[in-house]
Structure 1
């Protein structure tokens, strides 16, 4: 029987962008910030609704200015102006890019200067897990052009705003998750010994696209006798053999929103310790599901999961965290880490990703996607199998 899924509506109502911008402007007012500029795709899209594959090219910069009042102002290459007819942004300023001698820097400086007259404070994404997507020399030129304006970091404000998702955002992520879960189920009946990791991943990729994913830009795998020793490389051309354990970790994308989780498969008879490790990470996830709720912290979630793994004899957790935020990016703030102090709120979407080294050179990692609700949390997709599935 062929699986079919129904995708949610694309895009957002204009009221959602109005609300996002108003929340940012409220935080700006509290800190005396006149304007914020964004130059990276997720933030640009979050406040403007502008969605383009042109971000894949490093040639042209794109800027969005959010003043203390009113709608954002786009400062973009001329080639992109027409694309704003589909957005709520009506003030679009442009230049003929590429123009290396002044690729929008003076136009951006003039725009910022015009809306930063009160406090002379301008915000930018300058904190951890961010970047500016513009040459350092151009940023220095921008700062010099703005004279007495101070540049302040707004990454904390923005990541807090983006971490709590709207109902429409949750719907898109849920669909991306459902597509991925169905892809993993498809593999359960199509995997066989002798396939390569690459062939297995390609089969899943094609099925996820058929089910409605726009893209699967992140699809990795690892395998080995009785386990695997890394989860960031692959897929490779290694052939899957009797006794192997295979992990596939993937993030499907729908309308600009990601899923991110993994599944494990055994081929024939595998070392019993692999089955035990699988059951340990499954139980660890259960502990995370019981703990993740409004008022709990990311540290509480980490400790709940790690306690189970520690009791199961884990030699360590080389991943460094056990889950993270999820949304417009494959990984977002916050991270589930020891003593993490981020308080969970309804609407946050996280992954639960317990991992353990259960023998020298052998890991077992498990990952699920959840949304924090008013009373706890909810899985965004079908739960993984409680025991390690065996192929063949």
Structure 2
């Protein structure tokens, strides 16, 4: 994969207006007068409001997408200056935190102004969504807008965010390039005798050196011929000859994630480890071969599961990949029960895993985008041969 030029940061206003227009078309079909959004990716999806300040749980943030017209931000006053740099012009603020009324009255008044009486106000309500405000405030909001129904969003936000624009895909592609360059340098930081936690810290440094804005997610493991799981924190145990080291990174560039992993052998790998790596590559290819518009997420699962378990129906990991974008994991999930239909523009991970020995697994992950034909691999594809450190 040849290097690509860094995309422009941010998006033109037209991109956000198109997102709002698509949402409003779907809202009309579902009879919704407004959407109320409260989480970082939802607010950013329509506004471009990018800040690490969401790490603080203290203040609530609200965005209203009306049935017509531009979105309205109802946010703490500390965020007004940054929101003012986005395309949003209607920005209503209060001084937060307010232990008596933390923006609820202002939000209710704005909703009544927009919806009047008898409207339906949608909030994301399906799997992998949540409402970022206290339950007591939700109860109070319902009472203040009691002539309107607060209901689910009919899956609108999930449907919108599953399919990425070319500008979004370019950012994910670039994040994958950054991570690929960091993975190519693992030999500089890892080898026999190096503590695993030191490898984790240094790999995050490599990601930043190569251009990541930040590295919110890094997981992995190491052990003889494989590892016990893929989510445990790193330990100070040194890498040993015969170990397989895995690093799985979700770095961010301009608000978009990559998410893929790589396995490395510490010294010459065993035949079992080599065979497992080759089988994982075969499973990834099977998943890619099945990843076409009109296929279902479950089809991709079964294509990979046939290779790694013989069609047993999955493993303890629960799924073999997922959506990717503004969040490390998004809808859909590659499981037997997910019948989401794939569309052009969906960015997905293929993540099969295989048992090498009792209590030892290998996992491999690549990032792809669905196109009219074969999917494009956004991550630099790994070799079927384990790289040796």
TM over 0.5: yes
The answer to whether residue 229 in structure 2 is matched with residue 234 in structure 1 is no
CA contact (8 A) 1:74 1:92 kept: yes
Q: Residue 358 of structure 1 aligns with which residue? A: 356
Distance in structure 1 (CA, Å) of the matches to 2:6 and 2:160: 25
Task: Trace 1:181-196 onto structure 2 (pairs within 5 A).
Answer: 181-196=180-195
Q: Residue 367 of structure 1 aligns with which residue? A: 365
RMSD over aligned Cα atoms? 1.7
Q: Residue 25 of structure 2 aligns with which residue? A: 26
Distance in structure 2 (CA, Å) of the matches to 1:107 and 1:145: 10
Distance in structure 1 (CA, Å) of the matches to 2:173 and 2:42: 21
Residue 185 of structure 2: SS of its match in structure 1?
helix
Distance in structure 2 (CA, Å) of the matches to 1:92 and 1:249: 39
CA contact (8 A) 2:306 2:312 kept: no
Residue 54 of structure 2: SS of its match in structure 1?
helix
Q: Residue 126 of structure 1 aligns with which residue? A: 125
Given the superposition, is the C-alpha separation of residues 205 and 28 from structure 1 closer, same or farther in structure 2, using an over 3 Å criterion?
same
CA contact (8 A) 1:316 1:356 kept: no
CA contact (8 A) 1:34 1:117 kept: no
Q: Residue 96 of structure 2 aligns with which residue? A: 97
Deviation of residue 182 (structure 1)? Answer: 1.1
Residue 86 of structure 1: SS of its match in structure 2?
coil
Distance in structure 1 (CA, Å) of the matches to 2:373 and 2:270: 40
Distance in structure 1 (CA, Å) of the matches to 2:156 and 2:29: 11
Distance in structure 2 (CA, Å) of the matches to 1:378 and 1:115: 42
Q: Deviations over 1:326-380 (max 9, x none)?
A: 0000000011111421111110000000012232101110000000011120000
Give aligned pairs, total. 388
Deviation of residue 96 (structure 1)? Answer: 1.0
Deviation of residue 314 (structure 1)? Answer: 8.2
Q: Residue 328 of structure 2 aligns with which residue? A: 330
The answer to whether residue 274 in structure 2 is matched with residue 275 in structure 1 is yes
Distance in structure 2 (CA, Å) of the matches to 1:122 and 1:315: 40
The answer to whether residue 34 in structure 2 is matched with residue 35 in structure 1 is yes
Task: Trace 1:30-109 onto structure 2 (pairs within 5 A).
Answer: 30-109=29-108
Given the superposition, is the C-alpha separation of residues 328 and 364 from structure 1 closer, same or farther in structure 2, using an over 3 Å criterion?
same
Q: Which runs of 5+ in 2 are unaligned?
A: none
Deviation of residue 214 (structure 1)? Answer: 0.1
